[in-house]
Amino acid sequence: MDMPVYLDNNATTRLAPEALEAMLPWLGDQYGNAGSAHLLGRLAEGAVVNARDQLAHLLGCQAAEVVFNSGGTEGLNHAIRGVFEALPGKRHFVTTAVEHSAVLALAAWLQHQGVAVTVLGVDAEGQLDLAELEAALRPDTGLVSVMAANNETGVRFPLEAVARIVKARGILLHVDGTQAVGKVPLELAALGVDLFNLSGHKFHGPKGTGALFLRRGVRIKPFMVGGGQERGRRGGTENVPGLVGLGVAADRARAALPEMTRLEALRDGLEAALLAGVPGVKLNGAASPRLPNTAMVSFAGVEGEDLLLRLNEHGICASLGSACTTGQKEPSHVLRAMGVERGLAMGSLRFSLSRFTTEAEVERLKELLPKLAVSHRH
The pLDDT tens digits of the residues spanning 20-30 come to 999 999 999 99
CB count in 10 Å sphere of residue 260:
18
What is the total count of domains within the chain? 2
Strand partners, 282: 298
Beta 66-69 vs 210-214: how paired, if at all?
Answer: antiparallel
Q: Alpha-carbon distance 168 to 250, whole Å?
A: 32
Query: 271 with 231, same domain?
Result: no
Q: Alpha-carbon distance 60 to 340, whole Å?
A: 36
Active site residue 324: yes
Lowest mean pLDDT among 26-40, 149-163, 309-323: 309-323
Query: 215 with 274, same domain?
Result: no
Query: 273 with 336, same domain?
Result: yes
What string of H, E and C letters represents the secondary structure of 216-245? CCCCCCCCCCCCCCHHHCCCCCCCHHHHHH
Tell me what pLDDT residue 329 has: 72
Q: Alpha-carbon distance 333 to 322, whole Å?
A: 10
Query: 98 with 218, same domain?
Result: yes
Q: Alpha-carbon distance 20 to 142, whole Å?
A: 40
Q: Is the pLDDT of residue 365 over 90?
A: yes
Domain boundary among 203, 225, 255: 255
Give residue 341's pLDDT band: very low, low, confident or very high (50, 70, 90). Answer: very high
Residue 87 CA, chain-centre distance (Å), reads 26
Q: What are the distances in angstroms from CA 337 to CA 107, 259, 322, 341, 352?
A: 16, 32, 15, 10, 21
Full residue range of the structural domain in which residue 204 is found: 17-255
Query: 139 with 180, same domain?
Result: yes
- pTM for this predicted structure: 0.95
pLDDT tens profile 24-76: 999 999 999 999 999 999 999 999 999 999 999 999 999 999 999 999 999 99
Closest CA to 149 of 354, 334, 347: 334
Tell me what pLDDT residue 376 has: 72
Mean confidence (pLDDT) of the chain: 95
Tell me what pLDDT residue 327 has: 54
CB 213 within 8 A of CB 195: yes
Query: 247 with 272, same domain?
Result: no
Q: Is the pLDDT of residue 254 over 70?
A: yes
Domain boundary among 234, 255, 276: 255
CATH number at residue 131: 3.40.640.10
Query: 181 with 73, same domain?
Result: yes
Q: Terminal CA-to-CA distance of the chain, rounded, Å?
A: 30
Query: 191 with 262, same domain?
Result: no
Tell me what pLDDT residue 377 has: 78
Query: 223 with 250, same domain?
Result: yes
Dihedral angle at the C-alpha atoms of 73, 76, 78, 83, nearest 10 degrees? -160
Tell me what pLDDT residue 330 has: 84
Determine which one of 43, 49, 189, 324 is catalytic: 324
Domain boundary among 255, 283, 307: 255
Query: 261 with 251, same domain?
Result: no
Query: 251 with 278, same domain?
Result: no
- Residue predicted with more confidence, 2 or 320: 320
Query: 52 with 27, same domain?
Result: yes
* 3-state SS assignment for residue 303: coil
